[in-house]
Structure 1
Amino acid sequence: MTDSAIIRDFIYNYFQIAKSKEIENLPEFFHDNFTKFGDSPPYDRRELDRAMMLEQLQFASISDYDFKIEEMKIDVLDNVAIATFTLDSTGLIVDDYSFRGTAIKNKARVTIVLQKDRKGGWKMLHQHFSKMPC
């Protein structure tokens, strides 16, 4: 299997966690130096610990999640790779305190920078999401 195919599967598996609710597996996707610019509040740059906490909260709070990745392009440069694509996602954000749900429908341009680890696997170094009109 090529590095591009491995990275494609890695990215799909990452977003699949929001469907499977196996959020205990999130840490295996992130490099120790991970950062993120998200397309939802807070709009700050998030370092690993804060990003992980917000990802776990978001993935745990969404139900009926579905996603579609289009126009994926992966450039592998030795032990670093850049994946770009558009992400359409839908679901229901559930507020456990009020027992209400808010439907979401998002479209974003996504850039993910990855680094190959010593074992030959890939980890995310950075994510950048930019909202697009749906």
Structure 2
Amino acid sequence: MEDASSFRRLIGRLIYLTNTRPNITYVVQHLSQFVVALTSAHQQVVVQILKYIKGSPGVGIFLSAVSKIHLKGISDFDWASCIDTKRTITGYAMYIGDSLISWKSKKQATVSRSSSEVEYRALACTICELQ
């Protein structure tokens, strides 16, 4: 690309948008790793993200004013799903009642040898956040 500054600004705006749209967090984070060496494939992915956002205006975080106050955590993992590093992507979401209050999606620091090891690491991360 000749002028990457507009792409960088757009990625910055998408990063800001992930505060209320956690469903695009992983893709935007992955794109932000390529702001120095952009290709046309990256531009196409950004266009797809923008089309998705335009087509789903009601999707986002809903903070309920009327719900029972109970703490709930959900954990998930995708074993060796990163095609570049073969690392596992883990994630969790924390709720108070029906309202999402905290979430995280991250590649694990090490390559895991089994799905049991991955599940243990993901649950340990989730329990730490709950505490």
Higher relative contact order (CA 8 A, sep 6+): 1
Query: How does the TM-score come out when normalised to structure 2?
Result: 0.31
Q: Higher strand fraction: Structure 1 or Structure 2? A: 1
Query: How does the TM-score come out when normalised to structure 1?
Result: 0.31
Larger C-alpha radius of gyration, 1 or 2? 2
